[in-house]
Amino acid sequence: MSTPSSAGAGASGQRIVVTGLGVTAPGGIGTERYWKALLTGENGIGELSRFDASHYPSRLAGQIDDFEASDHLPGRLLPQTDVSTRYALVAADWALADAGVGPDAGFEDYDLGVVTSTAQGGFDFTHREFHKLWSQGPQYVSVYESFAWFYAVNTGQISIRNTMRGPSAALVGEQAGGLDAIGHACRTVRRGTRLVLTGGVDSALDPWGYASQLAGGLVSTVADPERAYLPFDAEASGHVPGEGGAVLIVENADSARERGVERIYGEIAGYAATFDPAPGSGRPPALGRAAELALAQAGLTPADVSVVFADGAGVPDLDRAEAEAISRLFGPHGVPVTAPKALTGRLCAGGGPTDLVAALLALRDQVIPATGRTARVPDAYRLDLVTGQPREAALSTALVLARGRHGFNSAVVLTTHRP
């Protein structure tokens, strides 16, 4: 049995540390503002105000309401960026500043990679341009539509803005994609890139993007923002879509120490992804397997885990399946579980990375944020769900889970950093 201090080294013997964070999430932009909102239980979910949603069956969203793009980004970038890319660029700026990565940090362009995930692309931008296409003609469509919608656009724009020319990628795996990006970023560091900016950001709260999310059939139609998204509650009725996400800076631990980083939030000790068997196959879903594989990569066992950040779909069948996976792995009521995304809505590719930020801050502050408004957890779930108030606890290792629609499962194991 290995200790957390040697965790995650894997065959390469390398440790991966997180040295910078940037968050744009409902309830608060900026890492500390977001964290405070989680701990105080401030609800980022409210009436959708981005457009007139009065005729939609659902009218709630986790909206970012305190973000003015021109306060953060040069005018030259605005005509060519979707709202999701603006969030990503600003979160990236904050994460890089947090990690002390600037022109004087001693990096070459090729030392720095970018790996991000977005599952929805530039819906708002595309909706606008398609409207021009239908109503005015193709000559009215912006040339920037050629990339502003695209899944790789956040990776590309962050890379260009910050002259990060190292190995870069974009991953898509619905709500699991953000953790997949982080897993791939760790691989990229293990292969020799000193530092990789990673994470996920999504936004699709325009009429078209919102309609497409509703079409998935998992969005709650409860009108009360305090009751619409209740992961693991007996009254769970679906989720509320949200926007935003988080960006993290991951580095080789030795390289980070050499450059004299001020702060290490924690280590990414393990990552794994699995895919569910086809519906009707009779075989069980593979979320628990992803958790086992991530723990194995970390060289840890379930007994080492001090808190689980669950996917928390907020749909009874999915909640039950996740609860079964957790209670099978950790034993009934065997580990504290939380789903702080209950206060932001599900951020799609932004969900996993934002949970990872919450988990790192939980390790830092030794406190577990509560699961939004969830109050009554069915006994059959056998979960020790943190509800109502944050819970102080001795935390050294966190497991973060994410599921994407149609079968994606991803798991990340975080540990506190012991030099």
Q: Is 110 near another protein (CB under 8 A)?
A: no
**# residues contacting another protein (CB under 8 A):** 13
- Residue from 13, 71, 103, 139 that binds another protein (CB under 8 A)? 139
Tokens describing residue 111? 């030392």
Is the Cβ of residue 80 or residue 397 nearer to another protein in the bound state?
80
62, 240 contact by CB (below 8 A) = yes
* Cα 92 to the center of its chain, rounded Å: 14
Least distance to another protein from the beta carbon of 253, Å?
Answer: 37
Q: Is 103 near another protein (CB under 8 A)?
A: no
**CA–CA dist 86, 77 (Å, integer):** 9
Give the interface segment with another protein, choosing from 74-82, 288-296, 317-325, 351-359 (CB under 8 A). 74-82
* Residue of 349, 339, 79, 122 lying closest to 233 (CA atoms): 339
Is the Cβ of residue 146 or residue 301 nearer to another protein in the bound state?
146
User: Which H or E run includes 64?
Assistant: none
* Residue of 221, 227, 243 lying closest to 119 (CA atoms): 243
Least distance to another protein from the beta carbon of 203, Å?
Answer: 20
Across the strands, what pairs with 222? Answer: none
Is the Cβ of residue 124 or residue 251 nearer to another protein in the bound state?
124
55, 355 contact by CB (below 8 A) = no
CB atoms within 10 A of CB 211: 15
Is the Cβ of residue 72 or residue 227 nearer to another protein in the bound state?
72
Site string for another protein, 146-175 (x = CB under 8 A): x-----------------------------
Least distance to another protein from the beta carbon of 77, Å?
Answer: 7
**CA–CA dist 223, 379 (Å, integer):** 27
- Residue from 142, 316, 333, 375 that binds another protein (CB under 8 A)? 142
239, 311 contact by CB (below 8 A) = no
Q: Is 75 near another protein (CB under 8 A)?
A: yes
Is the Cβ of residue 15 or residue 86 nearer to another protein in the bound state?
86
- Residue from 77, 105, 218, 234 that binds another protein (CB under 8 A)? 77
* Residue of 73, 150, 175, 166 lying closest to 114 (CA atoms): 166
Q: Are strands 169-171 and 195-202 parallel, antiparallel or unpaired?
A: unpaired
Is the Cβ of residue 148 or residue 269 nearer to another protein in the bound state?
148
267, 296 contact by CB (below 8 A) = no
DSSP string, 219-244: B-----TTTS--TT-TT---B-BB-E
Is the Cβ of residue 78 or residue 303 nearer to another protein in the bound state?
78
CA distances to 35, 240, 257, 374, 388 from 46, rounded to whole Å, are 19, 9, 43, 17, 19
CB atoms within 10 A of CB 144: 16
Q: Is 93 near another protein (CB under 8 A)?
A: no
Site string for another protein, 358-397 (x = CB under 8 A): ----------------------------------------
Q: Is 85 near another protein (CB under 8 A)?
A: no
Q: Is 140 near another protein (CB under 8 A)?
A: yes
CB atoms within 10 A of CB 360: 26
Q: Is 120 near another protein (CB under 8 A)?
A: no
Give the interface segment with another protein, choosing from 12-20, 73-81, 301-309, 337-345 (CB under 8 A). 73-81
Q: Is 144 near another protein (CB under 8 A)?
A: yes
Q: Is 79 near another protein (CB under 8 A)?
A: yes
Interface with another protein (CB under 8 A): 74-80, 139-140, 142-144, 146
